[in-house]
Amino acid sequence: MKRLLVVIVLAGAACEREPQDTATARPPAEQNATLATQAPTSKPPAIVPMPSDKAELDRMILAGYTPHGTHMHPPGVKECPLVHGTEAVM
* 5-28: pLDDT as tens digits: 888 888 777 776 666 655 555 666
pLDDT given for residue 81 in this prediction: 81
- Which secondary structure element, helix H or strand E, spans residue 28, and what is its range? helix 28-38
pTM (predicted TM-score): 0.47
Please report the pLDDT score of residue 62 as a whole number: 95
Residue 49 contacts residue 71 (beta carbons within 8 Å): yes
pLDDT value of position 63: 92
Q: How far is CA 11 from the centre of its chain?
A: 43
Distance CA 58, CA 89 (A): 18
- Domain residue spans of the chain: 43-90
Residue with the larger pLDDT of the pair 64 and 23: 64
